[in-house]
Structure 1
């Protein structure tokens, strides 16, 4: 693809890699581990995500990628709000629980949960919690990209960070 002028794109064939090659490459991209939550008609819902990143600081906006084949997809597609709970190294069992096939009620039995101002479950001892309003959803390939305006942040300044890298968990601690 070649960009010739603002908003003018000339399409040329793009060589792509195989899904397997892409997954291998992505294993080398370290990412923070998050549990994304909302309150749906049937109660709290959540999933583990590493595909979370900043879009802008004005207004404060994050994006979250959610596979349309995920069991929680319809709940989040109908929600107006969510919370992004960034995990600490001791919370890797929660990541596995929310990333697996456990029933929703069972997922929220672990951890200390509170409710954000927007109504989403927030993990009390997370490294950071972003309380958000979903402002836009874009369909891209197999995923929906949820654009989320941040309305509140709870920050644990002494927390370490849980990263996912080379298909395993790693901890990053602050330098003292």
Structure 2
């Protein structure tokens, strides 16, 4: 009887498999650049510092938002509510351009940066710097304002799909 063996996983494949086990809040990063709105669903977002208040976002070089963000556009990180899966889907994948704003209650900040009015939280940022690394750019933004709404119930991305956070205890 022939035994079927599979090729060992590359380090990148191992990393991807391991990261499927790391639940992350789903966000939509938005900006206003060269007269148009831009949006992209992401999970690679983190606080960087409280002094000065700042966030970092990681954006693939092939993403449409890469050019505006590395072009020093101000941006907003919108943490999605568990009921915002439709907003996440509209801001990713095959939907392009202005059509990404077809779902959700979008408004504009005074500088034109779009934000989701009923997001769990929206962090308004000015572009500070960015670093290109591998397939991505790491963009650092100085937080200039924060808004939030509703109860804490973020949309989570886990094992290739959406989930709700559950509190223990």
TM-score (norm 2): 0.88
What are the ranges of 5 or more consecutive residues in structure 2 without an aligned counterpart? 1-9
Unaligned runs of 5+ in 1: 1-16
Q: Deviations over 1:44-80 (max 9, x none)?
A: 0010110000111111110000001112221222133
Structure 1 residue 28 displacement after superposition: 0.8
Q: For residue 146 of structure 1, report the CA deviation from its aligned partner.
A: 0.3
How is 1:78-157 mapped onto 2 (pairs within 5 angstroms)? 78-157=71-150
Q: Distance in 2 between matches of 1:58 and 1:119?
A: 26
Partner residue in 2 for 1:164 = 157
Q: Could you say if the C-alpha distance between residues 61 and 97 of structure 1 is closer, same or farther in structure 2, counting changes exceeding 3 Å?
A: same
The answer on 1:24 being equivalent to 2:31 is no
Offset at 1:93? 1.3
| Structure 1 vs Structure 2 CA RMSD | 1.7
Q: Which runs of 4+ in 1 moved over 6 A?
A: none
Going from structure 1 to structure 2, the CA distance change for 1:155 and 1:32 (only over 3 Å counts) comes to same
The residue number in structure 2 matching 1:10 is none
Number of residue pairs the alignment of both structures matches: 160
Q: Decide whether the 8 Å contact of 1:117 with 1:131 is kept in 2.
A: no
Q: Which residue of 2 aligns with 1:7?
A: none
Distance 1:118 1:160 in 2: 29
Does residue 47 of the first structure (1) align with residue 45 of the second (2)? no
Could you tell me how far apart the structure 2 residues matched to 1:119 and 1:57 are?
25
Give the superposition deviation at 1:103: 2.1
- Residues 118, 132 of structure 1: 8 Å contact kept: no
